[in-house]
Every structure is written in structure tokens, then in C-alpha cells.
A and B are shown apart, each in its own frame.
Chain A
Amino acid sequence: MSTIPSTALEIVAAVRSGQLSAREVLEDHLSRIDAQDGEINAFNLVMTEEARAAAAAVDARVAAGEDPGPLAGVPLALKDNLCTRGIPTTCSSRILEGWRPPYDATVVQRVNAAGAVSIGKTNLDEFAMGSSTENSAFGPTRNPRDTGRVPGGSSGGSAAAVAAGFAPISLGSDTGGSIRQPAALCGVVGVKPTYGMVSRYGLIAFASSLDQIGPFSTTVADSALLLEAIAGYDGRDSTSIDAPAPSLLESLGQGVDGLRVGLVTELMGQGIAPDVAARVRQAADALTAAGAQVGEVSVPAAAYGLSAYYLIAPAEASSNLARYDGVRYGMRVDAPTTAEMNAATRTAGFGEEVKRRIMLGTYALSAGYYDAYYGKALKVRTLIVRDFEKAYADFDLLLTPTSPTTAFKFGDKTADPLSMYLNDICTIPTNLAGHPAMSVPFGGGSDGMPVGVQLLAPALGESTMFRAAAVLEAAAPALDEVWS
């Protein structure tokens, strides 16, 4: 049994006080990765040398009596769509295989400055497009709870890394649920912050008006710690909110007394597995028991969220992915003319789901179809924002399932793209509105696999959201407690 604590907060305390060295914490986690990641495949790249250097630097600061930072010595995994200078960043795509960015993403700079020890780049659905990590060009990641099942996606690697104990915390990205859904499927905490709270500079873009970077962890407090370290204004991102990082740890224990929580009607009915719905109701009861007022609320436009999302996100993606043309970096397949080279490169370099979404997005924007598809989707987005506004007039937080089902088996949904897209019905509306949301583990399903419940808050409502999450965490049934 390892003597290394399992949470970031505990590790930080131990390293800062000199009880543990960052080096021994790191070696412990590296050996776990070594033993198990062959099967799990959470990592595209383990940064052994870089991590050892970072750990040594932390230990040197502690020895010199300097402040080693709020994440001192904590191993942290980075989704492989976050730019790390000089270290391959692939988006799990052949088209970027081997590409070494000449710069660090803002969040990478911030976690490094905070003393975290970046331990590796994690696997994802190619270019963050997917809900199972089966779309990775480097093979799927397996759910640590049941290796015959998917970990969810697109941040499957980051979720699995935390669930498997390879790192106490990790960073992922969420465009339509890509942090929250794998968090739910793997039984860990996953948070999508308010759009604009965390800088996107250095996050390889999928859908610019929807993407956000956020934390995975085993505890609510660890996600609060990590989010505090990465959030806050960045002048290199025009969509960054001009405010400092919120203070979350402080208010974590304030409870939910008097808070009004709404169960979203449209997301509790058809399409949600009964065992998942049951856990959500159980979570609602837990909040009531803790002093919250739970009611039901309708957010009608949420029903259109999936369609609007699958027009807006691919449209932006089709444009964001145009730059992968074999000219300046990444894969190139040679041809006599540049246009042919572009096409040959992209055809060989992109996987099927990426191609599908590029074409869907190109079509939605094209002349003659813009108004019917993309144009309308932007209006649906307005309806969703308005419906949320109405809901938040009467409620402080909303409660829904995170994923309609528990983790499914490999290959279950790959034949029919639409069936895969339906995984996101609960998570998508908050991306469209730009609101924060998080998934908290809350017991198991009828198959024993983890269930996550989702808390939603209005823009900049992270602190309230985390308070409720802490209550749910405390009340959560054990995973192996049988559902009845």
C-alpha cells in the first residue's frame, strides 16, 4: 500500500512541509503508470524526464525556503490538445503526429508556475471530437473500472488517468461535454468553467465559441484547487473574462442551506437510463436533506441543444481545422500541386469522425444553406440562453444527469454517429449558453459502473456550484452500493 496520499491537497501539504519530496511522489505515480497504462492507454506520452526535472525544481525551492506554489509536487496529466513547448502535442491525430509546439499554453504556464509536475499528455478523441475516445488515431483508452468499456470522451485519457490513480489531477477540455461525460463514466469529478474563465490560448481549437479547459480530480476540493490555479484573465485571449480567478476552496464548506435547486424536466425523461435518473433523484434528496429547496424546472430549448450544437460546433471546427494543410507543420503527403498536396495530406491525416464533422460544418456554412442551418442554430442558441435566464430567476442551481447512460462497451455506438452524439444531450446546453457545470460521482448504475450527476450554474456561479458539489460528494453512495 502506497504511503503517498491520493489527493492533490494532501500532496501539496506534505511537499510544502517537507514531509514528502516531489521526487518520491512522482516516482510513485510513474511506477503505477508503468504497471498499468499498457492496458489503460490513458497516455499518448509520458514525460518522464521533464517531470523529473520539474520535481527536482520543486524540491530545490522547498529546500531553499522559497514558496513552491499552490500545486507543489502534484503530478498532473495534460490532455494532448494543450500545447506544451518542445513536447509532442498531437490531438491524437496522425496529422499532428510528432509536432512540437514552440510555445506553452497559458494553462500549462500557470500549472508549471504553481509547482505542478506535468507527468504526461493524455489520449483523446481525435481533435476532441467524440464521446468515447474511440476516435483516437493511437488506439482507445480503456475505462479503469471496466476495461471492456469506454472511458467516455473526448477527454477519456485525462479522466482515466485520474480514475486509475496515475495522477491526482488532470486537465481536459469541454466543448459539448468532453470533461463532464468522461468524468461521469469514470467516476471522477470533472468541471467545465464559465466560458471565458480559463484562457484558451494554447488549447488547440475545436469549436471556439464553446471550448473551455477544466479540471479532473477524485475530490471536489482538488478540482477547486486546480481551477483556482488556471483561471483568470489572460491578455492573449480576446474572449477571456477580465477578472481574477474565483476563490473556491474558501467557500467550499458553506453548504446549501436555502439554495434553490431545479431538476430540469426535459433532461430527466425519455432518453435517460432509469438507473441514472434514479441516482439524480437520490442526489436531489441529498441536497434537500442538507437544506436546499429542490423543485422542477423546464428549460424547453434544451431539447434543441443537440441539433444546434451539431451545426455550430462542426461549422467552427471546419474552419479551425483548415490550417492542417501540410504546409507549415505536421504531416505532409507530397503531390505535384499544393492543392493536391493539401487534399492528400488531410485525407490521410484525419480520421473518419473528423472528416465527417468537417464536411457537416462546411455544408452548414455554405452558400444557400447558411440561413437554414448555421443561421438558425445561432438563434436556437439565443432561445437556450433565454430559457436558462428564466430558470435562474427562480433557481440558484440546476441538476441533471451528466450522461444518459453509464459507460458503454467498445464498439456499441461506433456504427451510428447519431447514437454517439446522443451521449451529449445533458451536457451540450451549458456549452451553448457559456455557463459552468460539473459532474460529481454519485454511486453506481445497475451494471455497477459509475454514475455522475451534473450541477449547472449561471455564468460565474462556480462558487455556488462547488458548494453543492461538496455536499453531494459527502452524501454520495459508495460505487458498489447496489441500486434498487
Chain B
Amino acid sequence: MSARLTRDNVAKVADLARLNLSEAELERYTEQLGAVLDHAEDVASLDLDGVPPTAHPLPLVNVLRDDFVVKGVDRDEVLSQAPSVEDRRFRVPAILGEEP
């Protein structure tokens, strides 16, 4: 049995997803997502012990490709679509955190 979705849950999730929410939005989304999750209680409350998960509809395994070079994309074409470029690299503002 799962607890009802709280405003704090939603705030934390928005942060993980890099979304800024206003107070009003936080409230509204908490309400709406809560309703969806309530509906999903029919799944959450099923006893599914012993049922294996299906991550994938296809029974494929071992799909591999050969290790030889295939032409990529033109760098200029790609960089022309970038919001900010410097010295043939993608430019971003200051990165504060470290790589996890």
C-alpha cells in the first residue's frame, strides 16, 4: 500500500527532472498526479509475487554490430544547430556540481 503523493514528493521530483514549478503549479500537479496514482492503485495493490517483469515485448537477445567505422555527421551541420558554440565546442554556463 503506498502513501498518498505529497507536495514535497512532487517538489523533489521536479528538482530531479530539472523543472521549476510555481507554488500554484506544485499544488495543481500534486492533485493531478495523485489522482493518476490513486487510479494506479489497482496495480500497486495486486499480489504479483512470482510474476516476472516484462521489460520488453520482444524475445530478442544478442543484437550486435561489427566493429568498423561508419561515417558520422558533419560537425558544422551539428554545431549550426547548437544554442551556443565556441572553439568548435558546445558552450554552456558555469557548471557547479561535480560529475557524479
Is B48 among interface residues, defined by CB-CB distance under 8 A?
A: yes
Whether A31 is near chain B, meaning CB under 8 Å from some CB there, is: no
Contacts of A376 in B (CB 8 A): 43-44, 46, 48
Give residues of chain A (204-219) contacting chain B, Cβ–Cβ below 8 Å.
Answer: 209
If the complex has contacts A338-B93, A346-B19, are A363 and B33 also in contact, measured as CB distance less than 8 A? yes
- Contact at A363–B9, with CB atoms within 8 Å? yes
Beta-carbon contact of A330 and B83 below 8 Å: yes
Residue in B2, B32, B46, B81 whose CB lies within 8 Å of A417? B32
Q: Which of A371-406 contact B (CB under 8 A)?
A: 372-373, 375-383, 385
Contact B19 A209, beta carbon cutoff 8 Å: no
Q: A102-B73, A195-B58 are in contact. Are A336 and B93 (CB under 8 A)?
A: yes
The DSSP consensus for interface residues of chain A is helix
Cβ contact within 8 Å between A385 and B48: no
Is B32 a contact partner of A362 (Cβ separation < 8 A)? Answer: no
Is there contact, CB below 8 Å, between A347 and B48? no
Whether A359 lies near B42 (C-beta < 8 A) is no
Which of B48, B54, B81, B82 has the most C-beta atoms of chain A within 10 angstroms of its own C-beta?
B54
Residues of A within 8 A of B (CB): 99-100, 102-103, 195-196, 209, 235, 238-239, 241, 303-304, 306-308, 310-311, 318, 322, 325-332, 334-344, 346-347, 350, 355-356, 358-360, 362-363, 366, 369, 372-373, 375-383, 385, 416-418, 421, 432-435, 459
Pull 6 A–B residue pairs with CB atoms less than 8 Å apart, ordered by A: A332-B84, A362-B13, A363-B9, A363-B10, A376-B48, A382-B53
Asked if B52 is at the interface (CB within 8 A of a chain A CB), the reply is yes
Question: Contact: B92 with A327, CB < 8 Å?
Answer: yes
Residues in B neighbouring A346, C-beta threshold 8 A: 17-19
Q: Does B24 contact A (CB under 8 A)?
A: no
Report whether A241 and B83 are in contact in the complex, using a CB–CB cutoff of 8 Å.
Answer: no
Chain A residues within 8 Å of B21, by CB: 347
Chain B residues whose C-beta falls within 8 Å of the C-beta of A241 in the assembled complex: 58, 60
The distance in angstroms between the C-alpha atoms of A375 and B40, with both chains bound, is 13
Known: A338-B94, A366-B16, A379-B48. A359 touches B10 (CB 8 A): yes
In the complex, are the beta carbons of A100 and B43 less than 8 A apart?
A: no
Residues of chain B within 8 A of A383, CB atoms compared: 48, 51
- Tell me if A337 and B94 are in contact (CB < 8 A): yes
Min CB gap A377→B, angstroms: 6
Minimum CB distance partner of B56 in chain A = A209
| Number of A-B contacts defined by CB within 8 Å | 174
Q: Are B77 and A417 in contact (CB under 8 A)?
A: no
**Smallest beta-carbon distance A351→chain B, Å:** 12
B53 touches A356 (CB 8 A): no
A94 to chain B, nearest CB (A): 14
For the A-B complex with A209-B56, A338-B93, A360-B33 known, give 11 more contacts whose Cβ atoms are closer than 8 Å. A195-B58, A238-B60, A327-B90, A329-B82, A338-B96, A363-B5, A369-B2, A375-B53, A376-B43, A379-B46, A382-B54
Question: Which 3 A-B pairs give the minimum distances between C-beta atoms?
Answer: A434-B57, A378-B53, A332-B83
Digitize B28-39: 1 where CB-to-A-CB distance is under 8 Å, 0 elsewhere: 010011011101
Q: Which residues of A contact B19 (CB under 8 A)?
A: 343, 346-347, 350, 355, 358-359
User: Which B residues touch A363, using CB under 8 A?
Assistant: 5, 9-10, 13, 33, 37
Given the complex, which residues of B lie within 8 Å of A381, measured CB to CB? 53-54
Whether A380 touches B48, Cβ cut-off 8 Å, given contacts A102-B78, A239-B58, A343-B19, is: yes
Partner of A328, one of B9, B57, B82: B82
Q: Which of B14, B20, B36 contacts A310 (CB 8 A)?
A: B36
Whether B36 pairs with A328 at a CB distance below 8 angstroms is no
Q: Is B74 part of the contact surface with A, judged by Cβ < 8 Å?
A: yes
Q: B20 and A304: CB pair below 8 A? A: no
Whether a CB of chain A sits under 8 angstroms from the CB of B95 is yes
| Interface contact A380-B36, CB-CB below 8 Å | no
Cβ–Cβ < 8 Å partners of B16 in chain A: 362, 366
Question: Considering the chains assembled together, what is the distance between the CA atoms of A383 and B20 in angstroms?
Answer: 38
Instruction: Identify which of residues 39-89 in chain B touch chain A, using a CB-to-CB cut-off of 8 Å.
Output: 39-44, 46, 48, 51-58, 60, 63, 65, 73-74, 77-78, 81-84
Complex contact B57–A385 (CB within 8 A) = yes
User: Do A306 and B39 form a contact, CB below 8 Å, given A341-B93, A343-B20?
Assistant: yes
Q: Is B100 interfacial (CB 8 A cutoff)? A: no
Q: How far is the CA of A358 from the CA of B29 in the complex (A)?
A: 11
Min CB gap B7→A, angstroms: 12
